[in-house]
Structure 1
Amino acid sequence: MTTASTNMPGTRIYNRNLWSGALFGLGMVAFIDETLFHQLLHWHHFYDKSTTGLGLVSDGLFHAFSWIATIGGLFLLADLRRKNALSIRRWLGASQFAGGMFQLYDGTIQHKWMKLHQIRYVDHVFIYDLIWNLAACLMILMGLFQIVKARNGQAGRIA
């Protein structure tokens, strides 16, 4: 059983809610990206600057990373539930924030700066980039809103 003082900003339990949510959110957005855009739609591979075979290997490594992050976040979540220390608002906020940060990183650093791949190889890629990055910013803002709301005492602990 946690006390109010152990579930306040700066405490270990508070930070564990943030880390658990962040790992889960990052892993889930990476998993959705890899599954939808890489495997189902065939828009790109994680690394498109070589052969299709190397692109598939890079997708497999990316997929493994996404599942490791997702499962790691879920293990931390289970531990928080067991300790009766889960703040669902804080956890969901961290999930949204980290998922949005990953998507923004992917859309700006990987797509544009490193040029590992484009979201889609079409003439008007700007539209796809704009939607991708605006969705990322929206996720970041929604996550921050939830984290701040939880920090201001509206945490919504779950037993």
Structure 2
Amino acid sequence: MVIKVFGGKMVECKKVKEIFRVTGIKGKGAFASFGTEVPKLAQQFLARLDEIDNHLDTEIALFEPKRDDIHLEGHFYVGVIVKETKKEVPVGMDYIETALDYVTTRGKISDLNKLHNNLLKWANEQGYKRNLDSHIVETYHPMVNSEEEVEIYLPIYI
């Protein structure tokens, strides 16, 4: 674990092994449009939240990593973390489970791009190699009396 100064504030970056069990809806489009397309699909998903049992109320998104400058379109999932492996999910939804090594950080959602850049820089400084074949994960956490926070998980090779 390392604490970095980021915008005058201490931000924790660390390596973790995490298992994510997710029920969600798949979307796709231009990487440049993810900033508007992901929240739009998330709203559609949340309207169907009552169809999913055993969820933890933690919203999550999984993103195909952009591999290079000519990789212009990708896919993503929006959903919720569920407590156990699912054999059946509602129509039009998918179950995704990942168990990987990640580098992670957490902060205000308004700092999303800065958090991603800071985490990438820290991971490179530590010598971690990104796993571009696995999804980037973001979990979303409403905060009492303050702005929502996001936790970012970038998959790495060990």
TM-score (ref. length: structure 1) = 0.24
Structure possessing the higher radius of gyration over alpha carbons: 1
Structure with higher strand content: 2
